[in-house]
């Protein structure tokens, strides 16, 4: 198993949001943690067993690693290394 598969197995998008201190509802959409839109009409959703996210306001979409990059303002390599560290890998 690659590091990336391992990270995705351990972290859902919801887990990544929690690392940033953001709690998301178990069901339905939420305000977008990336663009900040959607406080009146929630536009950010998590799909596919927590492995995909999409915002209908800013059109950002991806997996837990790209969500980590967006929230913590880092590149892919840094995100993988941070998440590995957090998972104790």
Closer to Zn ion by CB, 9 or 41: give it. 41
Smallest distance from Zn ion to CB 88, Å: 31
Positions in the binding site for Zn ion (CB under 5 A): 32, 34-35, 55, 57-58
- Give the pair of three-digit tokens for residue 82: 């941070």
Secondary structure class of 83 (helix, strand, coil): helix
Closer to Zn ion by CB, 57 or 81: give it. 57
Smallest distance from Zn ion to CB 50, Å: 18
């Amino acid at each position: 198993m690659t590091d990336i598969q391992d990270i995705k197995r351990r972290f859902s998008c919801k887990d990544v949001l929690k690392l940033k201190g953001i709690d998301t509802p178990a069901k339905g959409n939420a305000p977008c943690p990336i663009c900040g839109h959607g406080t009146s009409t929630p536009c950010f959703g998590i799909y596919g067993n927590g492995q995909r996210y999409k915002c209908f306001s800013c059109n950002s979409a991806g997996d837990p690693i790209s969500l980590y990059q967006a929230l913590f303002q880092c590149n892919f390599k840094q995100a993988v290394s941070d998440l590995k560290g957090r998972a104790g890998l």
